[in-house]
Amino acid sequence: MVRLISLYNQPDDPAAFDAHYRDVHAPIVRRYPNLRGMRLTRADGIGGRPAAYYLMAEMTFDSRADLDEALVSDPGRESGRDLRNFAAAGVTLFVADDENATDG
């Protein structure tokens, strides 16, 4: 399994962010070819401090090749362009490939 992980910074207007994510962005992502699953988690802080991120999105694929194909697909490019519409506060993306994972 391979995960595309998107970490969204705290938005200025969380309600507007949530509405756009739910009504516009998530439906685009659901059209990614090869997508096996999508999990959204509101991040929590530690020790009374706010979380470093607002939201974590984990999109799962069977392989890195499947993920790369999704990113260059029409919905992949559309979701990239859509970031400017709601994620002005910033987003950090990386890939977590089980091929490069160990259970510690």
Residues that bind its own copies (CB under 8 A): 4-5, 26, 29-30, 37-47, 51-53, 56-57, 64, 71, 92-98, 100-104
Token pair listed for 74? 């029409």
Spatial distance between the Cα atoms of 43 and 92, rounded to a whole number of angstroms: 14
Cβ at position 82, least distance to its own copies in Å: 14
Cβ proximity to its own copies: between 5 and 19 the closer is 5
Cβ of residue 13: shortest distance to its own copies, in angstroms? Answer: 19
Q: Widest CA span of the chain, in angstroms?
A: 42
Nearer to its own copies, 89 or 96 (CB): 96
Tell me, what amino acid is at 102? Answer: T
Cα gap 86→25, rounded to integer Å = 9
Closest contact distance (angstroms) between CB of 86 and its own copies is 15
φ, ψ for residue 49 (rounded to 5)? -95, 150
